[in-house]
Amino acid sequence: MGRKTARAIIFIEDRLCLIKRIKNGNEYYVFPGGGIKKGEKGKQAVIREVKEELGIDVKVLKKLYKYKFGETKEKYYLCEYSNGEYGTGDAKEFNNPFKGEYIITMIDKKYIPSYLIYPKEIKEKIIKDFLGENEIG
């Protein structure tokens, strides 16, 4: 059985909340989130992971996307900021030099197409759904 994760799509004032990764000389961006623990629902996991990584509380609005690569199944939730100071998270992986650097960041949504955001399939869905004529955000 593969790994299950929950990831957050959070916009604060038209800026997308992401984690900039620098690892093995590569620089890219990922969505906050992580593994769903045994007995935990996806919504609970995304709320917990966002608090650990970004230092903020969020309200889950709805599940937007599912994505699978290899044995990993990811759920992407549209979340709304509710409380806390952005960038104050202290997730344990942030302090592990073997995992590379984690930098909490935000990018203006109009610049999303020009950033290397993984997974690319989810980035493309966000461009279509949040930057297109049929904007859902």
Whichever domain contains 87, its CATH number is 3.90.79.10
Q: Is residue 81 part of a domain?
A: yes
Structural tokens at position 125: 């869905």
pLDDT at residue 39, rounded to an integer: 96
Residue from 82, 70, 92, 115 nearest 8 by CA:
82
Domain membership of residue 76 as a residue range: 4-131
Q: Is residue 106 part of a domain?
A: yes
Q: Is residue 136 part of a domain?
A: no
pLDDT at residue 134, rounded to an integer: 57
Q: How far apart are CA 46 and CA 61, in angstroms?
A: 12
Q: Is residue 137 part of a domain?
A: no
> Residues 118, 30: contact at Cβ < 8 Å?
yes
pLDDT at residue 122, rounded to an integer: 97
How does pLDDT run along the chain (137 residues), one tens digit per residue? Answer: 689 999 999 999 999 999 999 999 999 999 999 999 999 999 999 999 999 999 999 999 999 999 999 999 999 999 999 999 999 988 888 777 788 899 999 999 999 999 999 999 999 999 999 997 555 55
Other beta carbons within 10 Å of 49:
24
| Length of the chain as a residue count | 137
> Residues 35, 7: contact at Cβ < 8 Å?
no
Q: Is residue 87 part of a domain?
A: yes
Q: Is residue 25 part of a domain?
A: yes
Q: Structural domain tally of the chain? A: 1
